[in-house]
A and B are shown apart, each in its own frame.
Chain A
């Protein structure tokens, strides 16, 4: 595949990331004062000034900005005002929790949604199709926080069988997993269905049937490999948005990952933490997009061979 094509993409992605981080850097400082957010109500003027000089907040904005990037180049993402610990340490604790919840949701959704979409396509316009697609639209259009709260009301408050917050046991992951999983199932299964329907009308499917292949061979050996290509793009896009996607769900279920950390850190004006998460968020999106591009090339020989092989 074209190296320059990818270098160009990476350069543009890096540029976007710098813009986003800069924007967040400025906005956070322009809209509130970390010293006031961090220190107790009765802190003296002296305390506040001490806090500011300790974190370099008394310096001009451009100087803070320059120092910030210099540190990053040295691998130093700053300290959390709140925890008095390096941001990297905090992230190392929080990130695995988010990755765990979100990848499990995606895997769960893929396992359910792909057979569901295929089934719906094969039974087009029957009860099965309407039922599965009804469920899909429900999962897709229901806001995460709302569905999450409904599930908490049902399983935690009313039935008292599942915990509503935290991450201490395997039971804790069930509700958040269901909530995010259902949304993913909604979008993956609808994609699988429409992709499958368009593939089933293709001449090569007729060839496979006319050649005498069994129904399963035609569906899983010939139709699905073609139908999967656009579906994988969609899955890749959600993988890229796991950090962004974790914000609401982790807040609703008090799941101790980076999504929730972002929300509390914005409230507390914990600048270094917010900046690090925003940077991570843009990096994951960019990386996932690149991976999807490469995957597309691997899965679709028409693209691969045109670009001269991966």
Chain B
């Protein structure tokens, strides 16, 4: 088994805004091995984006991050500002949910891409331009030289996301964090972007963290899955195990609410009742307890920890996990 490239343990993120503290991430543990694709899945607001932005330390000054984030043995939370800047883009790159607004509206695609290329390699502007063209080719953009002259608003969402991916590749990173890269795109374009990410993972051996709220996306694209709920990882499993034998009632609920191609028409789609508690209104004990059919006395009192269920790769944070 490959060793971990990135290990996030006991991650907590608080936002200090207007005299209040918002506990966006309670306790998140996950890891990425070399060349691996992992998925972070969970409903909106559960802390996926915040957890990943914490890795690159791009949450801004109001965020207070605790725990540990180790990349190749280096503790990222201990790095100086210039130290973490050498990680950004070069070791770990990130793309975002809304590709059009993620590009600078007043600068041409070419100048944004070339700026990043020259930041990571001391290329002359001529060779940087050539590299820009080749990167756009690699992400499947037709007539790349012409696209360099375009402004972001002249391109479709799918093209902008490809440009974002090209910019992410500029530093030849070991890990790509893709935060809901297809949520803002049309269905057909979604599939193209996901297969592009898959191809890049294969060809470049670039490990990928795929964030999504859509279990359907997870099923086809990742090797291991981390399920988040209310700022906690509640289940971790290889993807086939997760779909066959989900252990946490929340994961089971998510799967029941997921439509599948192979469905026998009889199986009803059951949404999970209730809503995700916001950081300010978390219940006592287990955060999922108010929505859980299996909850008992202990669930009201204690927060269950993420524990191994027999095989080391399958873990759940539940007192009543189904093994």
- Which residue of B53, B116, B151 is within 8 Å of A211 (Cβ)? B116
Contact A207 B106 (CB under 8 A): no
Contact B96 A206 (CB under 8 A): yes
Contact A207 B153 (CB under 8 A): no
Q: Which residues of A contact B90 (CB under 8 A)?
A: 212
Contact B96 A208 (CB under 8 A): no
Contact B106 A226 (CB under 8 A): yes
CA distance A275 to B53 in the complex (A): 63
CA distance A68 to B286 in the complex (A): 87
Contact B88 A302 (CB under 8 A): no
CB within 8 Å for A210 and B58 given contacts A204-B102, A226-B104: yes
Contact of B320 with A by CB under 8 A:
no
- Please provide the chain A residues from 196 to 215 with a CB less than 8 Å away from any CB of chain B in the complex: 202-204, 206-215
- Which residue of B88, B101, B171 is within 8 Å of A204 (Cβ)? B101
Contact of B282 with A by CB under 8 A:
no
CA distance A277 to B43 in the complex (A): 66
CB within 8 Å for A305 and B151 given contacts A211-B88, A214-B85: yes
Q: Which residues of A contact B170 (CB under 8 A)?
A: 211
Contact of B202 with A by CB under 8 A:
no
Q: Which residues of B contact A204 (CB under 8 A)?
A: 101-105
- Please provide the chain B residues from 145 to 174 with a CB less than 8 Å away from any CB of chain A in the complex: 151, 153-154, 164, 167, 170-171
CA distance A204 to B107 in the complex (A): 11
- Which residue of B58, B87, B104, B167 is within 8 Å of A209 (Cβ)? B58
Contact of B231 with A by CB under 8 A:
no
CA distance A209 to B90 in the complex (A): 12
Contact B101 A301 (CB under 8 A): no
CA distance A302 to B164 in the complex (A): 19
Q: Which residues of A contact B245 (CB under 8 A)?
A: none
Contact of A221 with B by CB under 8 A:
yes
Contact B58 A305 (CB under 8 A): no
- Which of A208, A209, A210, A299 has the most chain B CB within a 10 Å cutoff? A210
- Please provide the chain B residues from 247 to 302 with a CB less than 8 Å away from any CB of chain A in the complex: none
CA distance A301 to B106 in the complex (A): 6
Interchain nearest-CB distance for A299 vs B (Å): 7
CB within 8 Å for A206 and B105 given contacts A212-B88, A305-B153: no
CB within 8 Å for A221 and B115 given contacts A207-B164, A210-B88, A210-B93: yes
Contact B102 A207 (CB under 8 A): yes
Contact of B89 with A by CB under 8 A:
yes
Contact of A222 with B by CB under 8 A:
yes
Contact of B98 with A by CB under 8 A:
yes
Q: Which residues of A contact B101 (CB under 8 A)?
A: 202-204
CB within 8 Å for A206 and B107 given contacts A212-B89, A213-B119, A301-B151: no
Contact of A300 with B by CB under 8 A:
yes
Contact of B86 with A by CB under 8 A:
yes
CA distance A238 to B278 in the complex (A): 47
CA distance A169 to B87 in the complex (A): 58
Q: Which residues of B contact A305 (CB under 8 A)?
A: 151, 153-154
Contact A207 B105 (CB under 8 A): no
CA distance A215 to B170 in the complex (A): 19
Contact of A166 with B by CB under 8 A:
no
Contact of B120 with A by CB under 8 A:
yes
Closest B residue to A225 using CB positions: B106
Contact A212 B85 (CB under 8 A): yes
Contact of B94 with A by CB under 8 A:
yes
Contact of B237 with A by CB under 8 A:
no
CA distance A100 to B93 in the complex (A): 52
Contact A212 B96 (CB under 8 A): no
Contact A210 B89 (CB under 8 A): yes
- Please provide the chain A residues from 216 to 234 with a CB less than 8 Å away from any CB of chain B in the complex: 217, 221-222, 225-226, 229
Interchain nearest-CB distance for A205 vs B (Å): 8
Contact of B218 with A by CB under 8 A:
no
- Which residue of A211, A212, A217, A299 is within 8 Å of B106 (Cβ)? A299
Contact of B56 with A by CB under 8 A:
yes
CA distance A300 to B106 in the complex (A): 6
- Which residue of B87, B102, B120 is within 8 Å of A206 (Cβ)? B102
Q: Which residues of B contact A226 (CB under 8 A)?
A: 104-106
Interchain nearest-CB distance for A196 vs B (Å): 14
Contact B151 A210 (CB under 8 A): no
CA distance A301 to B104 in the complex (A): 11
CA distance A95 to B263 in the complex (A): 83
Interchain nearest-CB distance for A200 vs B (Å): 9
Q: Which residues of A contact B115 (CB under 8 A)?
A: 213, 217, 221
Contact B153 A206 (CB under 8 A): no
CA distance A259 to B171 in the complex (A): 59
Q: Which residues of A contact B85 (CB under 8 A)?
A: 212, 214
Contact A301 B153 (CB under 8 A): yes
- Please provide the chain B residues from 45 to 98 with a CB less than 8 Å away from any CB of chain A in the complex: 53, 56, 58, 81, 85-90, 93-94, 96, 98
CA distance A202 to B116 in the complex (A): 18
6 contacts between A and B (CB under 8 A): A204-B104, A207-B104, A210-B88, A225-B107, A301-B153, A305-B151
4 additional contacts, CB 8 Å, given A210-B58, A210-B89? A210-B88, A212-B88, A212-B116, A305-B153
Q: Which 4 A-B residue pairings sit nearest by Cβ, starting from the closest?
A: A212-B89, A212-B88, A301-B151, A204-B104
